[in-house]
Each structure stands twice: as structure tokens, then as C-alpha cells.
Amino acid sequence: MTGSNPVRELLASAHPVERVWVRGSADAQLAAAAAARRVPVESASPDVLARIAGGAAHQGIVARVPEYRYAELDAVSGAAGNAVLVLDGIQDPQNLGAILRTSRAAGVAGVVIPKDRAATVTTAVASASAGHVFGVRLARVTNLARACEALKEARWWLVGLVAGADRDVFEVGRGLERPALVVGSEGTGLRQLVRQGCDFEAAIPMAAGVESLNVSVATGIALYALTHREPRS
């Protein structure tokens, strides 16, 4: 894992960390965070950091971590939070990272992604999330449609983000408790089986002449529409 913010977020999380290398000496905050986790911190030259980072931009700090540990679906469906986010095949690591960062900011209970045909947690995703991937419960499931059914059984209301839907996401979100936002892939949107499992469909209202938004931007707008909604009268 590389980069100042991702490594600091990593140390602040419960994810395992094996070792950290820094250019020069670690600052007091980083040293304290590493000491609290009993993670060794070593000084390394720029050449050594570049080699350990495998050519990735590192900002003078690199951490060695085991393979990323995904959460179980039950940990997401049973968690407390403003909402749940279901991602149906986001493939671009930058989009996934940006969405995870927004999810952390919005206070979601967790995020669910499919195992196939979707981006997974990599150094690029962690960097794009500014390390906030380590502060989000992220479940990776074999069958997304079944995972959606499990969320419904756990009393989450599934809101599919669909361009051209009759209702907008602000209207749907008004007074809706325990929303689970379901967002499709960059190119094709929600798959039919996943879409059919949604309780509601909602669109983002846009000015004439604008047909679509980047998926990470659209997800951010919809998440805040659902999590910062007007109370039920």
C-alpha cells in the first residue's frame, strides 16, 4: 500500500499491517499510530521505496499488507448506518475508489460488490479512496441478486438508480428509512435481474441537454439524497 493518506487510514483501521517504510523519519502522528498497532517502521531511501512500491507513486511512505480482507455480507446487512450501497459491476478502479471515499463520508453501513466482472481492492483503488476503503465494510459476493434479497430480508429498502425513472432520488428518499442504493456499471447500468429486485427506481434530476453523469459523481449525489433526507412528517 502506498501514499500518505492511504497508509495513515490503514493504520487507523483494523486491517492487518506487516511493516511500514518511510523516507527519512516518521512524523510523530504516524509513529504513534504504528506503535499502537505494533507495526515496525523503517527508514528507506527513495530508490528502496520505489522498488518496494513497484513503481507506484508513494509520497515517501509504503506499507506491506496481507491480501485485503473483505467483510461478510451479514456484517453489512446487520450493521448500523445511514444506508447500504450495492455496486453492480463497477469496473474502473478510480471510480470504485472515489465511490468508497464518498461512502465513508456519507456514513454508510457497508458496500456490496460482485466477485465477477467488477473492480476489486487494489493499490489503485486504495489511493483513489484516499485510504478510506479501510474504513468501510466492503463485502464481495458471488451472486449479487441473492445478496440484494438478503438485504431486503434484513429490512433494507432497495433503491435502484435508473436514468429516466419516473421518480427522482430526492423524492424517493424523503422519509425512507434504511435505504440501500443499487448502482449499475459504467456502461450498461443495472443488470435486469438486479433491477427487478429493487423496491424503488429513482433518477437524478438533470438539466436539459445533460444525459448522464460519471458513475462516482452520480453515486455521491444519490447517496446524500438518501442519507441526508427530510424527516418523515
For residue 219, what pLDDT band results from cuts at 50, 70 and 90?
Answer: very high
pLDDT value, residue 56: 73
Note down the domain range covering 29: 4-64
Long-range contacts at 56-59 (CB < 8 A, ≥ 24 apart): 56/2, 56/123, 56/124, 56/127, 57/2, 57/3, 57/127, 58/2, 58/3, 59/2, 59/3, 59/4
pLDDT value, residue 233: 45
Tell me, yes or no, whether 51 and 128 share the same domain: no
**DSSP three-state, residue 11:** helix
pLDDT tens, 36-57?
Answer: 989 999 888 888 888 888 877 7
Tell me, yes or no, whether 20 and 118 share the same domain: no
Tell me, yes or no, whether 46 and 142 share the same domain: no
Tell me, yes or no, whether 35 and 86 share the same domain: no
Question: Mean pLDDT of all residues in the chain?
Answer: 90
Provide the b/e sequence for 13-43 (b: ≥16 CB within 10 Å): bebebeebbbbeebeeebeebbeebebebee
Give the gyration radius of the chain's Cα atoms.
19
- The CATH number of residue 9's host domain is 3.30.1330.30
In a domain, 100, yes or no: yes
Least confidently predicted of 53-57, 145-149, 188-192, 205-209: 53-57
Domain count within the chain: 2
Q: Which of 161, 137, 135 is nearest to 221 (CA)?
A: 161
Position 11, amino acid:
L
> Which residue, of 46, 64, 82, is where some domain finishes?
64
CA dihedral (138, 84, 229, 164) in degrees, to 10, reads: 110
pTM of the prediction? 0.86
Tell me, yes or no, whether 120 and 196 share the same domain: yes
- Segment 76-97 shows an average pLDDT of 95
